[in-house]
Amino acid sequence: MWKEQKGITLVELLAVLSLMSIIIMLVGSAMMFGQKQYKNQTEIIEQQDQVRYVMATLTKEIRSHNSSQISVSGNVLNIGSDSYEFSAPQVLKNGTPMSDRIGVFEVEKNDLELDITIASSAVGGNEQQRLSTILYLRK
């Protein structure tokens, strides 16, 4: 009589529910890990972009002027009529922000040589993104 009945028992139902919940938890944790990685990678790319933009702008401006038009005093770099100032975490061009994620902005002028180091601010446990270059100035 009992052998002819069709359906599932409570034990079978509980086993299926527990397996499904484990699978759902694994998929959910993989999705959360992926989102966290995406956020971290996006932050790193934005930091690199900010550092490259400031460095590219400075090198372009420096290369279009001769050494007598370039001066460095403290955290201010003057190139022709433009003034670049570092006020953590911003680099300002004539008082207007160029970047708001810079942690290091160092410029040293030695005769006809300009040593520039720019690094991003370390945000969210990410490493600083750093660029450094030496430019030789025209007389």
Q: Is the pLDDT of residue 1 over 60?
A: no
Question: For position 2, what pLDDT does the model report?
Answer: 62
Q: CA 132 to CA 44: how far, in whole Å?
A: 18
8 A C-beta contact, residue 78 and residue 89: no
Number of structural domains the chain divides into: 1
What are the pLDDT digits (tens) for 36-55?
999 989 988 998 999 999 99
**Residue 122: domain span:** 2-136
8 A C-beta contact, residue 67 and residue 110: no
Average pLDDT of every residue of the chain = 90
**Residue 139 pLDDT level (bands cut at 50, 70, 90):** confident
What are the pLDDT digits (tens) for 95-125?
999 998 898 999 999 888 999 999 988 776 7
